[in-house]
Amino acid sequence: MKRFYYNRYFNVNINPFTLSFDNEVFEKEFMRDFNATALVMMKFGILLTIILFSLYAMLDHIVFPKLDEELLKIRSIEGVFLIALYTFLNYRQEYSIAKLQFFSSILTIITGIILLKISSYYPEDSLVYVLYDAGFVLFITAAFTVFGNRFINALVMVVVIDVAIAFVLQSQLDTISFLFLQSLFFSTILLSGFSAYIAEYNQRNLFLEHKYSNQMEQQVQEYVKKLEKLSVTDKLTGLYNRVKLETEMERVMQEFQRYNVPCCVVLVDIDHFKAVNDEYGHLVGDEVLVKVASILRKYTRGTDIVGRWGGEEFLIIAPNTTLEQAAVLAENLRYIIERENFAEVGKKTISIGVSCFKEGLSIGDVIEHADKALYEAKKTGRNKVVLATEIKELHTA
């Protein structure tokens, strides 16, 4: 039931005759993965064939100590081909699916024909002859499994080899022996082909299952990221919210205490904001908040942490910043907003209080100093920047 669910979810089906997806994108993606797997299987298959080749060569040497020149040539051709192909696959970094299928098919045909040719050197009633036949049957099975060939390609190659067997052995065997060997080869092909068909069909369904799982995992991760962002973001302005600002204040305070890195806090308040809400309504007031937030984000530095502290107040944490640098930053923001035109409202101004981290002050103390500096700016005419060091009661304290 799951397989049908994945098919419906992606709106893709597997052609039962060609074993291919009816979606071109899915087919290319599957074949890319298949290509990587086939490469590994191909290397393993060739290495296994080299080992079998060596074992059969030892067997030939034991049975026929004096090998004739033709057999030596066949052995040499087979050995050179296998070693060259194995070396090629290990040192080439790029492979196309067509090339993999080509080399896999060539390996299947040549090795099969060589095994067939060498078997003709042994008496038909000898154990070695039977071992070569058994090895050939094993190779047919490997064409569907170890060598990484696709089912259709492997089936075509094995059928070609079987026809070659029929052509070569028909003149060497009696009718009963010939039919027996043909039935043996045919049953091996049939069994191996059916197994390969089921294996590739299941592999394609597993591909859909993994793709579905990966997509679900990606959606969950994106959803978690959205939740994390929402948890630290002010919904109206898109700036950090108070919870995030407090977390960042703790982090910056730890850096100040550990490395004595200067850091300042800039507290911003929109002048006469209540009058905007009373005269123009809360929607216009929200537009003013959003525009001020946009200006603060745009004209602060990449290292500054900007957020909405509450209501019409904004807080800027300025790491690695001295009081003089923070004063310049605050004055620049005040000047930009003063010259800005707000829809329906016209001109608006801000008041700013600035304080810095000092030895012996807690986070609450730093915020309180900035708030008192802001209150002083409001009390003395608004649209100005006041530093906490300018307030006598804080300076004497």
Q: Are 284 and 344 in contact (CB under 8 A)?
A: yes
Q: Which residues have a Cβ under 8 Å from the Cβ of 71 and sit 6 or more positions away?
A: 60, 64, 118, 121
Please report which helix (H) or strand (E) contains residue 174, including its range. Answer: none
Ranges 24-38, 53-67, 135-149, 185-199, most confident: 24-38
Please write the tens of the pLDDT for every residue from 304-319.
Answer: 999 999 999 999 999 9
Q: Is the dihedral of CA 37, 42, 47, 52 positive or negative?
A: positive
Average pLDDT over residues 347-375: 94
Average pLDDT over residues 46-63: 74
Superfamily of domain 242-396 in CATH is Reverse transcriptase/Diguanylate cyclase domain (3.30.70.270)
**Tokens 């009661």 sit on residue:** 393
pLDDT greater than 90 at residue 276: yes
Instruction: Round to whole Å and give the CA distance between 288 and 268.
Output: 14
pLDDT greater than 60 at residue 6: no
Q: Tell me, what DSSP letter sits at residue 233? A: B
pLDDT greater than 60 at residue 376: yes
Average pLDDT in the chain: 80
pLDDT greater than 90 at residue 171: no
pLDDT greater than 60 at residue 350: yes
Q: Output phi, psi for 260, to 5 deg.
A: 60, 40
Instruction: Round to whole Å and give the CA distance between 65 and 170.
Output: 29
Considering only residues 284 and 47, tell me which one the structure prediction assigns the higher pLDDT.
284
Q: Tell me, what's the pLDDT at 164? A: 66
Supply 325's token pair: 């640098």
Q: Tell me, what's the pLDDT at 7? A: 58
- To the query of whether residue 390 is one of the catalytic residues in this protein, the response is no
Please report which helix (H) or strand (E) contains residue 359, including its range. Answer: none
Instruction: Round to whole Å and give the CA distance between 348 and 275.
Output: 11
Average pLDDT over residues 92-100: 59
Q: Tell me, what's the pLDDT at 219? A: 86
Average pLDDT over residues 344-351: 94
Q: Where are the domains of the chain?
A: 2-217, 242-396
Instruction: Round to whole Å and give the CA distance between 209 and 275.
Output: 60
Determine the Cα angle at 353 with ends 289 and 306, to 5°. 45
Whether pTM > 0.75 for this model: the answer is: no
pLDDT greater than 70 at residue 141: no
pLDDT greater than 70 at residue 204: yes
Instruction: Round to whole Å and give the CA distance between 124 and 393.
Output: 113
Q: Are 103 and 42 in contact (CB under 8 A)?
A: yes
Q: Are 162 and 186 in contact (CB under 8 A)?
A: yes
Instruction: List beta partners, residue 353.
Output: 267, 386
Instruction: Round to whole Å and give the CA distance between 171 and 152.
Output: 30
Where is average pLDDT lowest: 64-78, 185-199, 252-266, 277-291? 64-78
Considering only residues 249 and 157, tell me which one the structure prediction assigns the higher pLDDT.
249
Average pLDDT over residues 78-103: 68
Q: Tell me, what's the pLDDT at 1? A: 44
Q: Tell me, what's the pLDDT at 396? A: 46
Q: Which of 78, 200, 312, 376 is catalytic?
A: 312
Supply 4's token pair: 């049908």
Average pLDDT over residues 292-307: 96
Q: Tell me, what's the pLDDT at 225? A: 86
pLDDT greater than 60 at residue 397: no
